[in-house]
Amino acid sequence: MIGPEHKSFPPSAWGSTAEQFLATGPTLADFQTPLLTLTRDALDANTAVMSGWLGARSLQIAPHGKTTMAPQLWRDLLDAGAWGITLATPWQVQLGRAHGLERIMLANSLVDPVALAWLAEELRDPAFEFVCWVDNARTVELMTAALGELPRPVEVIIELGSPGARTGARSIDEAVRVADAVRESPSLTVRGVGGYEGSIAHDRSEKSLEAVRTWLGLLLGLHERLRDHYDDREPIVTAGGSAYVELVAEALEGVDGIPLLRSGAYQVHDDGFYDSISPLPLRSAMHGWARVVSRPEPGLALLDGGRRDFPWDEGMPVALDIPESQVTALNDQHAFLRLPASAELAIGDVVRLGLSHPCSALDRWTLIPVIASTDDPRVVDVIRTFF
């Protein structure tokens, strides 16, 4: 049921189900500001671009669901051929199971005893495929002690990291020792190798690209070292956020096993960080909408959307239709939009904002309207998020 807890939905929608609300034929103009919208044609186009790109390279993908935390959008990815869904925390895995996911990769170590007890019970369902990561022998000890006897062992990915990066064994030799510990555990089995190259670099300078290529070479070297650790299932070799997908594809194409990317941001994309770094022809499927509430001095407009509404961790919002303007600061509920002298922007006008970083945009909204396209403001769906 739609209610006042769903930010910026019109009061006329309160008490309606999403289906009832959509049957009234709402448009973008029926909503209050500030607002975040998704765009159906861009979501579909981005999903098709990635599916085609992967298919041409015989690669598979388990998109990272934590980007949207929206089971409706996960289903779109699965319908487009995704191998499964990647998630980041045990609670996210539990939510995924509650929404019917049957193949999940937890791209993280699992040492929480409550979550491990839940997993032990969940593995009684033979249709549930689950794999998580390990990067330390202590993790293996904790998992083994908590899991006890299982209907089948938990499949794990040996995670390779890099000095100064995030998680992951810091060398191939260290990773092999972790795999040796897994092989001795009655509760676990080695399913493959993986890691996250996005913690190694953050731009597309030649130095960063070479660092990613070097790490990918080490990952493939670890895969070769662990051949006698794999069980009779086809091993997984997994890497790939949304920033360096072409480098990951180049390294993983033709690998002996399942070459599995985990990019998650491509479905929504953005007008900021990912637009500047992704090699794929994607377009932003999310926009912010904010209304001018004050023109206190020349060259400055205050908008009614701020940090509680829009992301800023990977760049400020951008007023897409106002050249030479700049959002210079965000307060909790206001944006400072600096304007050229020629800009005609009045109190009450609505500004369309390009946003950077879908991972920190959608988590501010529990119910998001989906418009047909930027040229067609009909609301064709509403997306529920679970953050």
Per-residue pLDDT reduced to its tens digit, 157-170: 999 999 999 999 99
Integer Cα distance of 116 and 274 in angstroms: 35
Q: How high is the pLDDT of residue 241? A: 76
Kindly state the tokens that stand for 233: 């299932």
Q: How high is the pLDDT of residue 243? A: 84
Percent of the chain with pLDDT over 90: 97
When comparing pLDDT for 2 and 232, which is higher?
A: 2
Q: How high is the pLDDT of residue 242? A: 83
Q: How high is the pLDDT of residue 13? A: 98
Sequence spans of domains, the chain? 11-40+280-384, 102-265
CATH fold match for the domains 11-40+280-384 and 102-265: no
Integer Cα distance of 225 and 160 in angstroms: 13
Q: How high is the pLDDT of residue 21? A: 98
Q: Taking the model in full, what pTM does it have?
A: 0.96
Q: Is the pLDDT of residue 98 over 90?
A: yes
Contacts from 53-56 at CB under 8 Å and sequence distance 24+? 53/245, 53/249, 53/280, 54/249, 54/261, 55/81
Count CB neighbours of 257 within 10 A. Answer: 18
Q: Is the pLDDT of residue 317 over 90?
A: yes
Length of the chain: 387
Q: Is the pLDDT of residue 232 over 90?
A: no
Q: How high is the pLDDT of residue 266? A: 96
Integer Cα distance of 30 and 28 in angstroms: 5
Percent of the chain with pLDDT over 70: 100
Integer Cα distance of 350 and 306 in angstroms: 14
Q: Is the pLDDT of residue 96 over 90?
A: yes
The answer to whether 276 touches 203, Cβ cutoff 8 Å, is no
In this prediction, residues 105-133 reach a mean pLDDT of 98
Q: How confident is the model at residue 202 (pLDDT cuts 50, 70, 90)?
A: confident
When comparing pLDDT for 188 and 202, which is higher?
A: 188
Q: How confident is the model at residue 231 (pLDDT cuts 50, 70, 90)?
A: confident
How close are the terminal C-alpha atoms of the chain, in Å?
A: 18
Before 71, cis peptide (omega within 30)? Answer: no
Which CATH number does the domain 102-265 belong to among 3.90.650.10, 1.20.120.10, 3.20.20.10, 3.30.460.10? Answer: 3.20.20.10
Q: How confident is the model at residue 296 (pLDDT cuts 50, 70, 90)?
A: very high
In this prediction, residues 320-331 reach a mean pLDDT of 98
3 state SS for 7-37: CCCCHHHCCCCHHHHHHCCCEHHHCCCCEEE
Fold observed for domain 11-40+280-384: Lyase, Ornithine Decarboxylase; Chain A, domain 1 (2.40.37)
Burial grade of 128 (CB within 10 A; 0-12, 13-18, 19 or more)? middle
